[in-house]
Structure 1
Amino acid sequence: MLLLATLALARPALSQNGNGAPNGAHYNLNIIGVTQAKNPPLTGSDRHTIFVPLVSDQNGDPDTLASDTAPILLTQGPFTVCDGNAFDPAVDCKGNVVNKTGAVFQLPCNNLTSLGLVVPCTSNGPGSIASYQVWARVVGTPGGNGTITLCAFDQTTLTEVCNTDEVLMRNKPNKFTDITKTLTTLVGATGPAGVGNYPLFASGFSGFFWDYDNNGNKVLQLRFYLTPQ
């Protein structure tokens, strides 16, 4: 919460620099692909890294889904890596095991006006709602590609619902891309308010996670910029 407050006092002007990313204060998150599972629990610290498989489709399944071995589960609150190890039981920021395997990242519901949300964000305490942009790029060798998007489960049908806006992240060109809607909105989903763009942690959905299908990306860098409305 302290970090979120600090960022709020230094909101970026969002002018871009040479690497394509906006200038200004931001929260960094690095999603690192590794060939061997990490053994330490990697919980309970101020880390900004999450370790996932370098290649997702080890068992013929190309996606890092909630039913797979290394999902990135999402919970609501100030930006925090609750559990940076996607290879062991997933632990949220309160110390609760929430899945048999996976990493856990905590972030606010995004109420950015340009997302065109059909329902507003619902507060879950201090720092649980914010207006922000998400920028991403891939760095590191040998290079690769992958896709990442937001998914959740429909609480009525118990079926998986994924964002229709999916981004292919490549090693070149090595510049940041705005993927705010991809990672913080269920685009074109069917929910309690009909078909539309639903925010993170919207009522009617549960089990939000990032579906990251990695095919050799060493480091996926994410930057979160608080944005004035």
Structure 2
Amino acid sequence: MKKAIIYMAVVLVAVGLLFTVKTKAAAFTGNGAPSGAHYNLNIIGVFKDKTALMDSNSGHRIFVPLTGKIKINLLPGTGFAVLDANGTDGNGATFSLPNPDPDNDGVTTYTVWARALGKPGGTSTTTPCAYLDGVEYCSTSNVVLVREKGKSSFTNVTSQLLYVYVDLDGDGVEERYPLFDPALQDYFWSYDNNGLKLAQFRFYMSE
């Protein structure tokens, strides 16, 4: 799998340390997203909890409470797939996706774009997290989506969604860990919803 050609840089400054996540430039559509093949994931906020069994679900959507915080558990895979679409049952949802940066060199094998849809006024915050020796660590960087009036456009959220930025060794300097880095275990996205009915994420593999 070829890694992204360096045309665009997303730069994060974390306590004096500069991290650069490099992604591929692409032709863009009218909604702000790149053109071309992609995997589409819809995170749908619902008033009422779902009761149907949604394990091994092949749909491109995850149901979450319209208000509240849940876990979207992450598993490494060769492609993108919803394994458990029900995020309203207290056990969280499950999503499979490839390792985005096996070498942790800041060059991702795919990019992620996001936008908020639905009734204006809703917001959501998605934060990458993981565990180490039973202790939960969540990234200092996250994805905040706000549904405003009018047309909604996609934003590149690759660096915020695919890495955990955290100071594990306590030296006052944050380190960067891509999803599924062996330094941490049991990766997940903490999805905190505040009335957003639809968060749309698109995943584009690098050519």
Give the equivalent residue in structure 2 for 1:216.
195
More strand by share: 2
Q: Deviations over 1:156-175 (max 9, x none)?
A: xx321111112221012611
Shift of 1:105: 0.4
Counterpart of 1:182, as a letter, is Q
Name structure 2 gaps, 5 residues minimum.
2-23
Counterpart of 1:204, as a letter, is A
Counterpart of 2:136, as a letter, is E
Tell me if 1:87 matches 2:88.
yes
Moved >3 Å (runs of 4+):
112-115
Q: Residues 13 and 23 of structure 1 are in contact (CA less than 8 Å); yes or no, is this contact kept in structure 2? A: no
Q: Residues 85 and 93 of structure 2 are in contact (CA less than 8 Å); yes or no, is this contact kept in structure 1? A: yes
In structure 2, the CA distance between the partners of 1:42 and 1:171, relative to structure 1 (3 Å rule), is same
Instruction: Give percent identity, aligned residues only.
Output: 42
Q: Residues 38 and 204 of structure 2 are in contact (CA less than 8 Å); yes or no, is this contact kept in structure 1? A: yes
In structure 2, the CA distance between the partners of 1:171 and 1:152, relative to structure 1 (3 Å rule), is same
Counterpart of 2:201, as a letter, is L
Tell me if 1:31 matches 2:10.
no
Alpha-carbon distance between aligned partners in 2 of 1:150 and 1:222, rounded to the nearest angstrom: 15
Shift of 1:15: 1.4
Calculate the aligned-residue CA RMSD, in Å.
2.5
Q: How does 1:190-201 map to 2 (within 5 A)?
A: 190=168, 195-201=174-180
Alpha-carbon distance between aligned partners in 2 of 1:198 and 1:79, rounded to the nearest angstrom: 20
More helix by share: 1
1:182 aligned counterpart, secondary structure: helix
Tell me if 1:131 matches 2:132.
no
Match 2:141 to one of 152, 165, 188? 165
Shift of 1:111: 1.6
Tell me if 1:152 matches 2:153.
no
Tell me if 1:14 matches 2:26.
yes
Name structure 1 gaps, 5 residues minimum.
5-11, 57-63, 65-69, 89-99, 118-129
1:146 aligned counterpart, secondary structure: strand
Task: Provide TM-score, normalisation by structure 1.
Answer: 0.71
Equivalences, count: 179
Shift of 1:116: 2.6
Shift of 1:112: 8.1
